[in-house]
Amino acid sequence: MAAQGVTPRGEDYARWYSDVVRMADLAENAPVRGCMIIKPYGYELWENIKSALDSRFKATGHRNAYFPLFIPMSFITKEAEHVEGFTPELAVVTHGGGKELEEPLAVRPTSETVIGHSFANWIQSYRDLPLLINQWANVVRWELRPRLFLRTTEFLWQEGHTAHATEAEAVEHTMRMLDVYTDMATTECAIPVIKGLKSQQEKFAGAVDSYSIEGMMGNTWALQAGTSHFLGENFSKAFDIKYLAEDNTQQYAWTTSWGVSTRMVGGVIMAHGDDKGLRLPPRVAPYQVVITPIFKTDEDKDSVFAFASQVSELLAGAEVRHHIDERDGLSPGFKFNDWEMRGVPVRLEIGPRDVEGQSVMSARRDVPGKEGKQIVPLDAVAERIPALLTEIQESLLQEATAFRDSHLHEASSYDELKEQVKDGWSLIWHCGTRECEDRIKEETKASSRCFPLDINETWEPAGQTCTVCGQQAYGRAYFSRAY
Ligand SMILES: [Zn+2]
């Protein structure tokens, strides 16, 4: 049984992606087009992302709750922009219990409306604010061009929803959660994201302002990996979320919402994968270490397995997520290649000679060949392996950062932008208008990603005009091809 390779990225990137998802056993297509079956290896990757987010949400004062999957259609229509934005993607239930329903029910595409309804009941006075809620759930947005993890009709996510007494506080919270996402993407997923303001055209339907984190994938396309929205009083007015202020006046609350989904799994795959397959950052990898026992005789097998379980105990003591590949009938070489393709950060080989030498041979996924190998004495396993994982995590982030930085360009003319978006992101002075963005998209396939916050100090700076259309610029924005 020979290990079959994935399609090289340079040959066909889309094919490479689907090969990796399938061969690494992450997910597969469901009977209903656009839906996905997330397999254990893919789900464990998501669970690690999820718990890294969940602990950050709790540390910033949020509590988890759960709201219904079905939302009365009348709720969806209460906020004008919201209904306009989501109607084309809605799945609607018209029958239940064998009867036509009096009011159709939307399968939640997002929960601002149903949560807004609850917030109106929960919030009475300024003492009830801020209200900081998060929900882990599935949502449905009908997808015409599905891609596993990247665009699926049903996906998993978290949606945070908060209400505040003042506009300033709500804006501050929107930015705080954007920072939480930035930290999670960078620290856990080793994806050096750029955070910024979305253009009015690209913002969330019903938001005043939307912010996003944008990561660069291995083919230089952008992936919007998380969004944080300042909703102003839009949903408060639609759902009557009012509170009694300290001065005894009735005020509308200011709300925010923010989400990260299973798209992030697609981001991890594409930000780090190479021509051999997946490369997982240790902090989110389902298995940080896989041990492959090597033996020929039964006698060797016993001693190799006994030694492997000693190593396993040391790894468990050091809280390293690991797995011993005990599969029968597969050669060590096959197993080694298989785990390499599946992106395991560190592979350990244990053969009779290692048992004799009381050591293991380690191989790094991110450093191919001899260079990435080292002999680790048994008594150093508990110390050296975690240190190695930290080193790999840092090195993947550095590599992704260097790759991104070498594909970030600045254009001083529309012609330059056209060239630059063929292989990277192009930063221009941008007016932010729909007309201009539509034109760029049609002519170059590149969309506006964001106005990066660390680049733009002020909006509509005097004397700066759009690189493409010449109108007053709103700020500097990145354009690129995107998922
Ligand atoms: Zn323009």
What are the mean pLDDT values of the chain's consecutive 10-residue runs (483 residues total)?
77 97 97 96 98 98 98 90 87 96 96 96 98 98 95 97 98 98 98 98 94 98 98 96 97 98 98 98 98 94 96 98 95 94 97 96 95 96 98 98 98 98 98 97 98 95 96 98 97
How many angstroms is it from 435 CA to the middle of ligand 1?
Answer: 8
How many angstroms is it from 453 CA to the middle of ligand 1?
Answer: 19
> How close are the terminal C-alpha atoms of the chain, in Å?
35
How many angstroms is it from 410 CA to the middle of ligand 1?
Answer: 16
Q: Give CA separation, 453 vs 80, 189, 198, 264, 459, in Å.
A: 29, 21, 10, 21, 10
How many angstroms is it from 257 CA to the middle of ligand 1?
Answer: 29
Decide if 350 contacts 293 (C-beta within 8 A).
yes
Beta bridge partners of 213: 195, 226
How many angstroms is it from 69 CA to the middle of ligand 1?
Answer: 40
Q: What residue ranges in 172-281 does DSSP mark as E strands?
A: 194-197, 209-216, 222-232, 242-244, 250-252, 254-261, 278-279
Would you state the pLDDT for residue 80?
Answer: 81
How many angstroms is it from 416 CA to the middle of ligand 1?
Answer: 15
How many angstroms is it from 474 CA to the middle of ligand 1?
Answer: 9
How many angstroms is it from 232 CA to the middle of ligand 1?
Answer: 26
How many angstroms is it from 464 CA to the middle of ligand 1?
Answer: 11
- Burial of residue 440 (CB within 10 Å: 0-12, 13-18, 19+) is buried
State the pTM of this model: 0.96
Q: How many CA atoms lie within 13 A of 237 on its CB side?
A: 8
How many angstroms is it from 448 CA to the middle of ligand 1?
Answer: 11
How many angstroms is it from 328 CA to the middle of ligand 1?
Answer: 62
How many angstroms is it from 477 CA to the middle of ligand 1?
Answer: 11
How many angstroms is it from 443 CA to the middle of ligand 1?
Answer: 14
Q: How many CA atoms lie within 13 A of 3 on its CB side?
A: 19
The number of residues in the chain equals 483
Decide if 360 contacts 351 (C-beta within 8 A).
no
Q: What residue ranges in 276-416 does DSSP mark as E strands?
A: 278-279, 289-293, 322-324, 342-343, 346-350, 359-364, 373-377, 408-410
C-alpha dihedral (304, 307, 312, 315), degrees to nearest 10 = -130
How many angstroms is it from 426 CA to the middle of ligand 1?
Answer: 14
How many angstroms is it from 303 CA to the middle of ligand 1?
Answer: 70
Q: Distance between CA atoms of 345 and 285, rounded to whole angstroms?
A: 8
How many angstroms is it from 433 CA to the middle of ligand 1?
Answer: 6
Helices (H) and strands (E) in the chain, counts: 14, 25
Decide if 316 contacts 269 (C-beta within 8 A).
no
Q: What are phi and psi of 238, to 5 degrees?
A: -70, -30
- Inter-helix orientation angle 381-405/263-272, to 10°: 90
Would you state the pLDDT for residue 1?
Answer: 41
DSSP class of 132: E
Would you state the pLDDT for residue 446?
Answer: 98
Q: What angle do CA 341, 347, 353 make, to 5 degrees?
A: 130
What is the SS3 assignment for 434?
helix
How many angstroms is it from 211 CA to the middle of ligand 1?
Answer: 20
Q: Distance between CA atoms of 359 and 362, rounded to whole angstroms?
A: 10
How many angstroms is it from 460 CA to the middle of ligand 1?
Answer: 12
How many angstroms is it from 430 CA to the middle of ligand 1?
Answer: 5
Q: What are phi and psi of 291, to 5 degrees?
A: -100, 125
How many angstroms is it from 440 CA to the middle of ligand 1?
Answer: 9
Distance of CA 44 to the CA centre of its chain: 14
How many angstroms is it from 415 CA to the middle of ligand 1?
Answer: 14
How many angstroms is it from 414 CA to the middle of ligand 1?
Answer: 10
How many angstroms is it from 206 CA to the middle of ligand 1?
Answer: 24
Tracing tokens 């729909």 back to the chain, one arrives at 434
Q: Look up residue 229 and give its two tokens.
A: 């929205």
How many angstroms is it from 428 CA to the middle of ligand 1?
Answer: 10
Tracing tokens 């999957």 back to the chain, one arrives at 69
How many angstroms is it from 173 CA to the middle of ligand 1?
Answer: 30
Q: What are phi and psi of 21, to 5 degrees?
A: -60, -40
How many angstroms is it from 143 CA to the middle of ligand 1?
Answer: 30
Closest CA to 361 of 345, 348, 372, 343: 348
What is the SS3 assignment for 12?
coil
How many angstroms is it from 465 CA to the middle of ligand 1?
Answer: 8
How many angstroms is it from 437 CA to the middle of ligand 1?
Answer: 7
Closest CA to 314 of 377, 394, 364, 373: 377
Q: Look up residue 138 and give its two tokens.
A: 């599935």
